[in-house]
Structure 1
Amino acid sequence: MKNHPKFASFTTGQRQAYGLIIDGGVIDLAARFATRYPTLMDVVVANAFNEVLETSADLKPDFPLSAITFDIPLANPEKLICVGVNFPDRNEEYKDGQAAPTNPSLFIRFPRSFTGHDRPLIRPPESHQLDYEGEITIVIGKAGRRIAEAEALSHIAALTLCNEGTLRDWVRHAKFNVTQGKNFDASGSIGPWLVPFTDESQLADIRLETRVNGEVRQSDRTSRMIFSFRKIINYISTFTTLVPGDVIVCGTPTGAGARFDPPIWLKPGDVVEVEAEGIGLLRNTIADEVL
């Protein structure tokens, strides 16, 4: 598997920045491109990954990883859209006798509902039914409306991972939506970094795995997705213009905690890892909200 460059947003001291992860540390790109590309979002919007890579070719890390706190890669995307029920076994989990849907199920999350790599997912006092959903996530790099499937991958700027943490009882508070249970502050995570997208092999048939305390709970391959990355981009762009920096979370395999009998909810001290070949490993602990 090719070793792709990794661009992360982070905090060091009181300063928010972004950089290139290399040799156990990070090259501070925010300091070097403070005027032209002050944030990682600016790099995405300008399609400037190659430019900043060339500038960083001979540089050494400015900080060790121990000196930074990972933030979500893109702090304020215009849109953060999630795809539900996108693996065959996941559809069968619902036991409703229905065939796989002909169009993807979609819902919206807010950036505040996510935290970064190696930071705790927060279990709120309103519910202890915090669950995990490991997912591959794409970042749009080129704007488009009604994007043809044949052209869809050319609109991807980068890849990352998501633990699309969910408060299961709160997604059932109303008849037609899941918004409440998907948007508690810091209940999910995105990261650790963005991997620039270069060709279809990065997504065609890679393994996605979620582990809780080292136990494999979810494992599947992107080649089995009900709706391909091409279809997802085509479908979403039919009703809304996709713009650079938009984030699309592309669905989770079977095996979430809600599907055990009895369900197994995340609790303080648990460690959840989401890993995908060629992208990386997103790790989070669980903590109760401090009131």
Structure 2
Amino acid sequence: MKLLRFGPKGQEKPGLIDKDGTIRDLSAYITDVNGDALSTEVLNKLQTIDPNTLPEVDENTRIGPCVGNVGKFLCVGLNYSDHAKESGMALPKEPEIFTKATSAISGPNDNIIKPKNSDKLDWEVELAIIIGKEAKYVDEVDAEDHIAGYCVCNDVSERTFQLEKGSQWDKGKGCDTFGPIGPWLVTKDEVKDVLNLKMWLKVNGKTFQNGNSNTMVFKPAYIVSYLSQFMSLQPGDVITTGTPPGVGLGQTPPHYLNSGDKIELGIEGLGTQSQTVCDYKSSTNAITHKELETVTE
């Protein structure tokens, strides 16, 4: 099942994608795609609905972040062996954890705002975990029971803020619009092998990232178990799991984003995103669901 949220920012409604790619309105069954809707019980009930009985949504409607009311936005850095190599950094012995502010969350096709004083704006296509059941001191063997599904995330990063202004990464990770998630939350039963998914990202039509989740060092179940030893994870929490090689920082010379640049990215089976970079003083409209259908790998 592919769940999503649609409508103007702050007014999103819950929906699903039917087998023909049409958005269907789920408002009669749930109030939002958030922690309350991600329990196994609720997801099983939603699975029984005939999508053809749900109202169709105009294809020109904006797609919002695929999860609402996110409590925690957690991230794992340097979690792909080939990305760590291009970054010139050793593989961590334990997951490298940082956070993105929940105010960074945006729709999958909303503009990315280049912050004031930004000069090294970068991209990272990432697989994100969505928690469906509270996890606290969970063993790795049981961790998957706490995962509702997965989605695409662009872990947008400002490298000067991240790496040149102290030891904490969060300043370069949590700026507004730095966390596009979606277009869909794909329930885990539809993801055949989360450890073998193609991942890609283009800037202005040029492919920079072309990787696979099979080079992930710490796997999703381990990440959930690991994090649960330090904090409880609640339904609706989002955890990004790292990026394959090809980020701007790793280019020779480094290549960074400027206003007007267009980013396209996706993960096999989880959908695609398309964003335009704009200056913090200006903005343009996000592309629509219909226009997104033209975005291909």
Normalising by the residue count of structure 2, what TM-score does the alignment of the two structures yield? 0.87
Shift of 1:56: 3.6
What residue number does 1:57 align with?
51
Contact kept, 8 Å, 1:138 with 1:249, in 2: the verdict is: yes
Among candidates 171, 184, 190, match of residue 162 of structure 2: 171
Contact kept, 8 Å, 2:72 with 2:102, in 1: the verdict is: no
Shift of 1:113: 0.9
Q: Which amino acid aligns with 1:137?
A: A
| 1:100-115 → structure 2 map (5 Å cutoff) | 100-115=91-106
Instruction: Please give the per-residue CA displacement for 1:107-164, whole angstroms capped at 9, x wherever unaligned.
Output: 0112211211221111112213211000000101111212111111121101101000
| 1:245-260 → structure 2 map (5 Å cutoff) | 245-260=236-251
Question: Is the aligned partner of 1:156 residue 2:156?
Answer: no
Shift of 1:168: 0.8
Among candidates 25, 33, 40, match of residue 40 of structure 1: 33
What residue number does 1:87 align with?
80
Among candidates 11, 15, 19, match of residue 19 of structure 1: 15
Among candidates 94, 101, 108, match of residue 117 of structure 1: 108
Shift of 1:266: 1.2
Aligned residues: 280
Instruction: Tell me, in whole angstroms, the C-alpha distance in 2 between the residues paired with 1:38 and 1:64.
Output: 19
SS of alignment partner, residue 192 of structure 1: coil
Contact kept, 8 Å, 1:166 with 1:188, in 2: the verdict is: no
Identity fraction in percent: 30
Q: Between Structure 1 and Structure 2, which shows a larger proportion of strand residues? A: 1
The worse-fitting range, judged by mean Cα deviation, of 192-201 and 84-93 is 192-201
What residue number does 2:3 align with?
7
Contact kept, 8 Å, 2:215 with 2:244, in 1: the verdict is: no
Instruction: Tell me, in whole angstroms, the C-alpha distance in 2 between the residues paired with 1:288 and 1:147.
Output: 43
Normalising by the residue count of structure 1, what TM-score does the alignment of the two structures yield? 0.89
Among candidates 229, 242, 267, match of residue 276 of structure 1: 267
Question: Is the aligned partner of 1:191 residue 2:190?
Answer: no
Instruction: Tell me, in whole angstroms, the C-alpha distance in 2 between the residues paired with 1:289 and 1:282.
Output: 21
Contact kept, 8 Å, 1:160 with 1:190, in 2: the verdict is: yes
The worse-fitting range, judged by mean Cα deviation, of 215-224 and 154-163 is 215-224
Shift of 1:13: 9.4
Q: Which amino acid aligns with 2:128?
A: T
Q: Which amino acid aligns with 1:76?
A: N
Instruction: Tell me, in whole angstroms, the C-alpha distance in 1 between the residues paired with 2:77 and 2:68.
Output: 23
Instruction: Tell me, in whole angstroms, the C-alpha distance in 2 between the residues paired with 1:83 and 1:63.
Output: 35
What residue number does 1:142 align with?
133
Instruction: Please give the per-residue CA displacement for 1:189-229, whole angstroms capped at 9, x wherever unaligned.
Output: 11111111127733031111112122221122222211111
Instruction: Tell me, in whole angstroms, the C-alpha distance in 1 between the residues paired with 2:107 and 2:56.
Output: 20
SS of alignment partner, residue 211 of structure 1: strand
Contact kept, 8 Å, 2:129 with 2:147, in 1: the verdict is: yes
Contact kept, 8 Å, 2:103 with 2:176, in 1: the verdict is: yes
Q: Which amino acid aligns with 1:26?
A: I
Instruction: Please give the per-residue CA displacement for 1:164-197, whole angstroms capped at 9, x wherever unaligned.
Output: 0011100124432111111111133111111111
